[in-house]
Chain A
Amino acid sequence: MSVLRSIVASVRVGWYREFNWTNPLLGFSMRTVGPLAGVIAASSVYFVGSSAARSFSPSQLAFILIGAALYTHVAAYSWVPTLAIAEGKWTYVFPQVFISPHSSLPYLTGRTLASFFSSTLTVIVSLVLSFFILSSVFNTSIPFTVTPLSVTLLFFAMLVNILAAFGLGLLLSAYALFATKFEWALPTYVAGLLMVFSEALFPVSFLPHPVSDVANVLPFTEFMRASRQAMIQGGDVYSYFSYIGLATLGGVILLAMGFLAFRYAENRARRLGVIDKKTA
């Protein structure tokens, strides 16, 4: 119960952190512009390139549109534990959280969930907007399946992916705990890699071996595949659930790795005396 209170309070603080730094409408708009621009940019690059090569395919556009939108979603909230630690050291909130009875894990969970909710909202809005904008500008019909079932399956995939994203977040924040430099930058580098290795913009089979094999088993890749099965015409429920199964398995493994790395880093940070050390 006490842990739950910590998580709920941290979700609330996270929500304020996401939207309440200015008036909520402006905050929401600013947070939607990023993913919307990302989706439109990626889709436009594809459209221009494929049109020049006379190989444009609406289903490939749908592939990129879904991938780009969900990539920004994962990138937006998987680095929140790192952010919460780095800014928490600056504001001295993090050391206070650390010495509370349940320490920092419920706090990081709550902050991640808050960011998941907010980025889910902004990504769905940017997905809808980019669908209409791109359909109209490129004068094409993007083959999306929008039914109650497909939307439910998409949300379910997003929920399952929290395991992997939080696991990645904990791995990154394990470094942020005792780092005094570059802890802000590391998630950006990892997010860049994720764009290449998670099938966000192109199938990972295009990558050379053995990189493609590694990318193939990443839970993020399975999440992308499951989401496409749900949202793009021609997808099937059997494939969806097989991808979801793999995403869950990979997510649990990544979460366990993140948890162990974080616990190790906590102890080491306490030994080094950097839990309350401000970053450079």
Chain B
Amino acid sequence: MNVLDERLNDAPKIREDQPGLRNVMNRVDAEITVEVDGLRREFDSKEGKVTALDGVNLQVRKGEIFGVLGPNGAGKTTMIRILSTLLLPTSGKAGVMGFDVEKEPEKIRAVINMASGAERAGYDFISARGNLWFFSQLYGIPSEEAHKRINELSDMLGLQNYLDRKFYALSTGYKQRVTLVRAFINDPKVVFLDEPTIGLDVMTALSIREYILKQAKEHGRTILIATHNMAEVDAICNRVAIIDKGKILACDTPAALKRSLGAPSLVLEVSPVPAPASLEPLGKLDGVKGYTSSVDEERGLSRIQVVVDSDGSAQSVIDSVRKSGMTVVSNWRQQATLEEVFVALVGRGFREREHEAA
């Protein structure tokens, strides 16, 4: 167990009566709607067995918006595929509303729905309304009731004026809105959303997040979101599990996870842009938990975010960068983000992790 894990376990849980905090779901007595126990999934590939999920344990409570945050290839989508009964686990247990995914998939299907941001399901030659009606009928919803729900849900997402257009004629953003209306058409108790705002403009993403929040808050639905979008998790999730290489590294409220880092992280803007290998010594300095970097091509700079445990460690990072021949254009300390929590846990950022995986 590393230092951060200890901190996370020792971190005070936010109490239900604390005003202004979203963590109303952090109650041990809340009904568990999604439960995953020792979940493991392996895939065969040309290179041999690939482990997508490696003994994942998770509990999601009723009415909670639960984020599963991790880089591409971390195992998020695999978990959603198993929970939504598209895929069977290799070993371990997964259950929704008390039903087992392996033995009782038909019972789970009656109470869930799922949507993927990358896959906008629909028949091109049918209108958005026609598509939504079709999916509603798969759940046995009477036609009149189905149309009422289509109108209500579409209203929330500003889709009303586009309902009678053919699916192929809709923009990506509106197709995604149709997908999200579909995900709630059957009044599901649990909804799985895989990257629900991927590839969307800021305003569309915002309206979708508001819609998801409303669905959880007003209807008490449990919503599990798999995403690599940290802003999304910060904005709407009650709790988040950080996942990497098929393992859950930490699980708590976004605020508690960030607080657990202790010292604010250090951000450096350096020039010239360093080779990735030249930054590696940073990770070996005392008090450095990890770092991530990105290139600002317009300004010809590299931005390095370093998770440190104290002010002294921050200073030694600055000194080390200067000694390596780079010019520190600016530096500042900032409140930790969820990516920095990930960096502290893994030692690398999302981009580096995805690059390694590729």
Contacts and interface: CB of A to CB of B under 8 A. Distances in A.
A associates with B? yes
Interface of A: 1-3, 5-6, 8-10, 12-13, 16-17, 20-21, 91-93, 95-103, 106-107, 270-271, 273, 275-276
Nearest to A274: B87
A279 to B, nearest CB: 14
A5 B121 contact: no
Chain A binding surface, main DSSP class = helix
A44 to B, nearest CB: 35
Interface in B38-94: 43, 81, 84-88
B109 A96 contact: no
Contact of A101 (B87, B119, B130, B138): B138
Given A1-B140, A92-B116, A276 B110 contact: no
B116 A6 contact: no
B125 A95 contact: no
B126 A20 contact: yes
Given A99-B112, A106-B138, A276-B81, 18 more contacts: A2-B140, A5-B138, A12-B134, A16-B123, A92-B119, A92-B120, A92-B121, A93-B122, A95-B86, A95-B121, A96-B135, A96-B138, A96-B182, A99-B84, A99-B113, A101-B109, A101-B140, A102-B138
Interface of B: 43, 81, 84-88, 106, 109-110, 112-114, 116, 119-126, 130, 133-135, 137-141, 182
A88 to B, nearest CB: 9
B87 A8 contact: no
Q: Which residue, of A8, A20, A270, has the highest number of chain B Cβ atoms within 10 A?
A: A270
Q: Which residue, of A1, A13, A16, A99, has the highest number of chain B Cβ atoms within 10 A?
A: A99
28 contacts: A2-B140, A3-B140, A5-B137, A5-B138, A10-B134, A12-B134, A13-B123, A16-B126, A17-B123, A20-B125, A20-B126, A21-B125, A91-B121, A91-B122, A91-B123, A92-B121, A93-B121, A93-B122, A93-B123, A95-B121, A99-B113, A100-B109, A100-B139, A101-B110, A101-B139, A101-B140, A103-B106, A275-B86
B113 to A, nearest CB: 8
A17 B134 CA distance: 13
B87 A270 contact: yes
Nearest to A8: B137
Contact of A98 (B43, B86, B116, B130): B86
Contacts of B140: 1-3, 5-6, 101
Given A20-B125, A92-B121, A99 B85 contact: yes
Nearest to B43: A273
Nearest to B101: A270
A20 B116 CA distance: 27
B275 to A, nearest CB: 37
A13 B126 contact: yes
A273 B87 contact: yes
Contacts of B88: 270-271
Contacts of B182: 96
Contacts of A107: 138
B121 A13 contact: no
A215 B294 CA distance: 68
Contacts of B43: 273
Contacts of B106: 101-103
A101 to B, nearest CB: 5
Given A103-B109, A270-B86, A16 B139 contact: no
A17 B167 CA distance: 13
Contacts of A6: 137-138, 140
Contact of A96 (B87, B121, B130, B133): B121
B325 to A, nearest CB: 48
B108 to A, nearest CB: 8
A276 B115 CA distance: 12
Contacts of A92: 116, 119-121
Across chains A and B, which 7 residue pairs bring their CB atoms closest together, nearest first? Answer: A2-B140, A9-B137, A100-B138, A92-B119, A92-B121, A101-B110, A5-B137
Contacts of B130: 16
A205 B88 CA distance: 48
B166 to A, nearest CB: 10
Contact of B124 (A1, A12, A91, A103): A91
Contact of A99 (B86, B123, B126): B86
